[in-house]
Amino acid sequence: MADPTAAANLADLQAEYNRKKAIYDDLVDNALANNDASKISAIMAAKQAMSEALSKVLDITVKLGKGGDDQQDELIRRIMEIQRDYNGLLVATDKLQTLRMIHQTMDVQNGVGLKMFGVLFAVTSLALIAVAIRTR
């Protein structure tokens, strides 16, 4: 006979998972839209909370013998998908930070070259003006 408390807990846990998934999705969407790597710790905490809620749902499902192998496989697949998405987000964030560092380095190098070119142009211009004045 199924435990009614466990069944009620299952419904509560599924609702909790849906809330945590909405928070996680919002954090990820916001971080991607704003190219904001500072939200990684919040995303990691939300991912962990979402995974824990799914694990609890899986545990209760197994205890109740409810849903069979298909539902359990689906829950495991969701947990794996969450981890895969998070890992992909970390890789994308690392690439974004690397690109930013490269662009900053290039900007500094280009800035130095541009300043040198500007100084050389100014000196050459002054020299040409001086030559033009002397020839008069």
pLDDT in tens, 9-20: 777 888 888 898
pLDDT in tens, 2-45: 555 666 777 788 888 889 888 888 888 887 777 776 777 788 78
Q: Which amino acid type is present at position 136? A: R
Distances (CA, A) of 8 to 53, 60, 101: 14, 10, 51
pLDDT recorded at residue 118: 82
**Residue with the two structure tokens 């001086």:** 130
pLDDT recorded at residue 66: 60
Estimate the crossing angle of helix 40-64 against helix 68-134, to 10 degrees. Answer: 170
What are 52's two structure tokens?
A: 């824990």
